[in-house]
């Protein structure tokens, strides 16, 4: 399997895993994984602790051996050419650590050296990266004084300084307060704007949903679901969109029935006398509005909700309990 | 399967950072003061002892290293004791410290091999000890010239410098051992205790155990025992067992290099001494030849222990 990673045409995958297996003795941590990550996307690895996310990440970096199958990162095999891979990938480990007795600037200067950045460039790149994660003011303070959020940002600065093409972030927001989390997610979006492919592992479903283009759901070393959130919703919940309509019906018309007949709508639920919840396989707002108006109703409010990843997740594991075959089919 | 790229990439980066850490660490400062103070005390004893003797001696400077007075041990005896302590102090948290700080996976995600990290740390530890030893050496020679007023001869300088190199190999053994434990044990406290335990066993308990073991392996001849003579087989076994301990090897190196009249480190028969001028010093090259096997053994021990650590580190999982 060869791919030209460097000057690849726009959408050639940057990471390709085929039947990836990692065994620890008798235990199988990663069990026949296959997935692809395309350039420029934010790909979420989702799942409970111990589902094999971190092991998969370590295999991408060549930091743990692959028992079976292949993985290709930017056209290289991380097991055989780890330096070529690690030169172009940035990695923010789970609960990243720094040398507490050094300042942020010194910490980055050390890794800059290890990255092989030219001496003349080093201090500029360190300073620029620290500015981007808004740590420039405290750059000369020892990392021991940093909060967890600041450490995570420092880890992100390291990836920016490296000018990595792929950023792998392992549980970057666990243990952060909501404000730091929001800030951090913004910075991840910024990375994406720079054209960096981001791999994000997390068990925080709502955050993943907020920023990921596609997600892979891990369970016991396997990917049981993969795709964008609307796709998964269609697959699991049977509908991708929930549209809420608040409208006063004209006397004598059954608005619920009118809405049900809109094409694409799978079900209509009457929440209150004047409120209806439609589940649909695409965004049916315009059609729903037209249907209300056509029935002489007064449209007060129209909102569309993507189904939450949490709902998908919960529902998926519920159905799985009933049907053991789903596991193998996925 | 061949790896791409050089295993030494990043070595200088790791080396310089670790060296800077060592040289500025509180731990190192405490150890240095400990060494300097005990060394100065030993030197003072040696100098006053030398001043009292009026006998002519071509190797007055070397006497500074080896002479002891009263309760104070000699300078080299103190070094033989403190060098392991220093090496263990520098190495016991080399790898598990990175694990516990959670810096290991971040550092190894940079384009370097594990080789560079381990070798860089080891070399930085050695360099730190080398710097300290060199400073001590200058202190001794300077004090010697100042207080005794005798300029050192070229041979004395050469002997004491070669001694320094071998002392570094001796330090390397303990550094490699401490780093091996720091790889095997996740907790720095365990690694430190195990290193110190090994050191105590080999430096203090082993000299007591080895003769007993030798007598068990090769029981002494009863007839010779009645005459008050040692049995050769027992003697040889004792020596062989003693040489397992790096401290003993270091002691022998010191003896051969710094006491130029040492002719052999093993048992010598009267007929072998026929024609020898008793107490006459050996040439430098001959002393070196006497110390050579011991020195090689020290270097080999260092390499074996480092290699064991290397293998263990390569196989280790990075995740905490």
Point out the domain boundary residue: A227, A258, A275.
Answer: A227
**Tokens representing residue A119 in the block:** 């001496």
Give domain status of residue A236, yes or no.
no
Determine how many CB atoms are found less than 10 A away from the CB of residue B31.
Answer: 21
Amino acid B167: pLDDT: 95
**What is the rounded distance in angstroms from the CA atom of residue A254 to the CA atom of residue A244?**
16
Give domain status of residue A314, yes or no.
no
CATH number of the domain encompassing residue A285: 3.30.70.100
- Choose the closest CB to A86 out of B2, B111, B319: B111
Give domain status of residue A263, yes or no.
yes
How distant is the alpha carbon of residue A76 from its chain centre?
23
Point out the domain boundary residue: A227, A255, A271.
Answer: A227
**What is the rounded distance in angstroms from the CA atom of residue A34 to the CA atom of residue A41?**
17
Q: Say if strands A42-46 and A197-202 run parallel, antiparallel, or are unpaired.
A: parallel
Amino acid A326: pLDDT: 45
* Torsion sign over Cα A199, A204, A208, A210: negative
Q: Does A251 touch chain B (CB under 8 A)?
A: no
Residues 6 or more apart whose Cβ sits within 8 Å of residue A231:
A240
Amino acid A10: pLDDT: 56
Give domain status of residue A329, yes or no.
no
CATH number of the domain encompassing residue A72: 3.40.50.300
Identify the residue among A23, A50, A93 best suited for mutation to test binding to B, counting B beta carbons within 10 A and taking the highest.
A93
Whether A191 and A83 share a structural domain? yes
Whether A171 and A115 share a structural domain? yes
Give domain status of residue A10, yes or no.
no
**Tokens representing residue B248 in the block:** 């003993």
Amino acid A3: pLDDT: 42
Which chain A residues contact residue B21 at CB under 8 A?
A: 99, 101
Whether A213 and A101 share a structural domain? yes
Check: CB of residue B115 under 8 Å from CB of residue B10.
no
Q: Does A316 touch chain B (CB under 8 A)?
A: no
Give the DSSP letter string of B113-139: -HHHHHHHHHHHHHHHHHHHHHHHHHH
**What is the rounded distance in angstroms from the CA atom of residue B79 to the CA atom of residue B34?**
11
pLDDT tens column, B184-233: 999 999 999 999 999 999 999 999 999 999 989 988 888 888 887 888 88
Q: Does A89 touch chain B (CB under 8 A)?
A: yes
Give domain status of residue A120, yes or no.
yes
Give domain status of residue A129, yes or no.
yes
Q: B268 vs A265, which has greater pLDDT?
A: A265
3-state secondary structure of B289: helix
- Choose the closest CB to A86 out of B16, B102, B109: B109
Amino acid B148: pLDDT: 82
Radius of gyration of chain A (CA): 24
Point out the domain boundary residue: A227, A261, A294.
Answer: A227
Whether A204 and A274 share a structural domain? no
3-state secondary structure of B190: helix
Residues 6 or more apart whose Cβ sits within 8 Å of residue B30:
none
**Tokens representing residue B77 in the block:** 């005896």
3-state secondary structure of A102: coil
Whether A245 and A220 share a structural domain? no
Q: Which residues 81-140 of B are in CB contact (within 8 Å) with A?
A: 101-103, 105-113
- Choose the closest CB to A114 out of B3, B101, B112: B112
Which chain A residues contact residue B2 at CB under 8 A?
A: 80
Q: Which residues pair with A201 in a beta bridge?
A: A45, A170
**What is the rounded distance in angstroms from the CA atom of residue B157 to the CA atom of residue B137?**
10
A86 to B102: CB separation less than 8 angstroms, yes or no: no
Whether A31 and A126 share a structural domain? yes
* The total number of structural domains that make up chain A: 2
Upper half-sphere CA count for residue B60 (Cβ side, 13 Å)? 23
Mean pLDDT across B50-77: 79
**What is the rounded distance in angstroms from the CA atom of residue B228 to the CA atom of residue A102?**
65
Question: In a 10 Å sphere around its CB, with 0-12 CB exposed, 13-18 middle and 19+ buried, how is residue B269 labelled?
Answer: exposed
Question: In a 10 Å sphere around its CB, with 0-12 CB exposed, 13-18 middle and 19+ buried, how is residue A63 labelled?
Answer: buried
Which chain A residues contact residue B96 at CB under 8 A?
A: none
- Choose the closest CB to B4 out of A83, A96, A101: A83
Flag the least confident range among A61-65, A231-235, B74-78, B256-260. A231-235
Amino acid A95: pLDDT: 86
Residue-averaged pLDDT of chain B: 89
Amino acid A9: pLDDT: 46
Whether A131 and A265 share a structural domain? no
Domain span including residue A249 = 241-305
**What is the rounded distance in angstroms from the CA atom of residue B165 to the CA atom of residue B162?**
5
Which chain A residues contact residue B317 at CB under 8 A?
A: 64
Whether A26 and A53 share a structural domain? yes
pLDDT tens digits in sequence order for chain A, 330 residues long: 444 444 444 578 999 999 999 999 899 999 999 999 999 999 999 888 888 999 999 999 999 999 999 999 999 999 899 999 999 999 999 889 999 999 999 999 999 999 999 999 999 999 999 999 999 999 999 999 999 999 999 999 999 999 999 999 999 988 889 999 999 999 999 999 999 999 999 888 888 888 999 999 998 899 988 998 888 887 887 766 778 888 887 777 788 888 888 888 888 888 888 888 888 877 788 888 888 888 888 888 888 777 788 888 888 877 777 655 444 444
Whether A209 and A247 share a structural domain? no
Check: CB of residue B42 under 8 Å from CB of residue B68.
yes
The alpha-carbon gap from A62 to the nearest alpha carbon of chain B, in Å, equals: 9
Q: Which residues 107-166 of A are in CB contact (within 8 Å) with B?
A: 110-111, 113-116, 155, 158
pLDDT tens column, A147-173: 999 999 999 999 999 999 999 999 998
> If you measure CA to CA, which chain A residue comes closest to B320?
A94
Note the helical H segments in chain A. 53-60, 82-88, 104-115, 119-132, 148-162, 178-193, 205-211, 229-237, 255-260, 285-294, 309-322, 325-329
Q: Which of A34-38, A284-288, B48-52, B145-149: highest mean pLDDT?
A: A34-38
**Closest residue by Cα to residue A268 from A284, A280, A286, A281:** A280
Whether A118 and A210 share a structural domain? yes
Give domain status of residue A160, yes or no.
yes
User: ipTM beyond 0.90?
Assistant: no
Whether A135 and A273 share a structural domain? no
Whether A96 and A125 share a structural domain? yes
**What is the rounded distance in angstroms from the CA atom of residue B94 to the CA atom of residue B107?**
14
Check: CB of residue A72 under 8 Å from CB of residue A3.
yes
């Amino acid at each position: 399997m060869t791919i030209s990673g460097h000057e690849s045409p726009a959408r050639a995958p940057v990471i390709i895993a085929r039947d990836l297996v990692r065994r620890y003795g008798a235990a199988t941590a990663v069990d026949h994984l296959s997935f692809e990550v395309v350039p420029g996307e934010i790909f979420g690895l989702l799942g409970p602790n111990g589902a094999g996310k971190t092991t998969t990440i370590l295999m991408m970096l060549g930091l743990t051996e692959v028992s079976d199958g292949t993985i290709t990162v930017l056209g290289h095999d991380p097991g055989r050419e780890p330096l070529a891979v690690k030169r172009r990938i940035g990695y923010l480990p789970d609960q990243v650590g720094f040398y507490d007795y050094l300042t942020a600037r010194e910490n980055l200067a050390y890794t800059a050296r290890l990255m092989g950045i030219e001496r003349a460039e080093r201090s500029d790149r360190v300073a620029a990266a620290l500015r981007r994660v808004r740590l420039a003011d405290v750059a000369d303070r020892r990392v021991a004084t940093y909060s967890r959020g600041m450490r995570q940002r420092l880890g992100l600065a390291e990836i920016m300084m490296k000018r990595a093409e792929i950023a792998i972030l392992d549980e970057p927001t666990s243990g952060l307060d909501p404000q730091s989390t929001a800030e951090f997610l913004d910075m991840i979006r910024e990375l994406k704007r720079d054209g960096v492919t981001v791999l994000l592992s997390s068990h925080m479903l709502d955050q993943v949903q907020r920023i990921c283009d596609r997600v892979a759901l891990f369970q016991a070393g396997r990917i049981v679901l993969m795709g964008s959130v609307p796709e998964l919703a269609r697959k699991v919940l049977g509908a991708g969109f929930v549209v809420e309509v608040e409208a006063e019906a004209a006397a004598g018309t059954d608005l619920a029935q009118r809405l049900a007949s809109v094409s694409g709508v799978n079900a209509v639920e009457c929440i209150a006398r004047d409120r209806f919840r439609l589940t649909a396989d695409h965004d049916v707002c315009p059609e729903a509005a037209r249907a209300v108006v056509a029935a002489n109703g007064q449209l007060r409010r129209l909102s569309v909700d993507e189904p939450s990843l949490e709902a998908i997740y919960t529902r998926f594991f519920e159905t799985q309990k009933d049907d053991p075959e789903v596991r193998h089919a996925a | 399967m061949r790896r791409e790229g050089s295993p030494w990439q990043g070595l200088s980066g790791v080396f310089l950072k670790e060296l800077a850490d060592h040289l500025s660490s509180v731990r190192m400062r405490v150890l240095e003061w400990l060494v300097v103070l005990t060394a100065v005390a030993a030197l003072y004893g040696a100098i006053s002892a030398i001043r009292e003797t009026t006998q002519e001696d071509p190797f007055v400077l070397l006497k500074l290293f080896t002479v002891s007075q009263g309760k104070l041990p000699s300078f080299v005896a103190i070094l033989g004791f403190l060098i392991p302590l220093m090496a263990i102090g520098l190495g016991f948290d080399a790898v598990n410290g990175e694990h516990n700080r959670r810096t290991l996976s971040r550092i190894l995600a940079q384009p370097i091999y594990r080789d560079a990290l381990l070798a860089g740390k080891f070399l930085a530890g050695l360099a730190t000890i080398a710097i300290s030893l060199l400073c001590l050496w200058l202190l001794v020679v300077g004090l010697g010239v100042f207080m005794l007023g005798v300029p050192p001869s070229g041979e004395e300088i050469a002997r004491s410098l070669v001694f320094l190199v071998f002392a570094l190999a001796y330090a390397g053994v303990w550094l490699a051992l401490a780093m091996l434990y720091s790889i095997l044990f996740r907790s720095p406290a365990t690694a430190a205790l195990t290193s110190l335990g090994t050191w105590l066993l080999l430096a203090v308990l082993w000299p007591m155990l080895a003769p007993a073991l030798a007598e068990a392996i090769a029981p002494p001849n009863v007839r010779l025992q009645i005459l008050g003579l040692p049995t050769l087989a027992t003697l040889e076994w004792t020596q062989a067992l003693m040489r397992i301990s790096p401290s003993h090897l270091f002691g022998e190196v010191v003896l051969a290099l710094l006491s130029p009249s040492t002719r052999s480190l093993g048992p010598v028969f009267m007929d072998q001494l026929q024609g020898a001028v008793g107490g006459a010093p050996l040439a430098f090259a001959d002393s070196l030849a006497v110390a050579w096997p011991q020195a090689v053994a020290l270097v080999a021990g260092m390499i074996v222990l480092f290699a064991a650590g290397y293998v263990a580190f390569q196989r280790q999982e990075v995740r905490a």
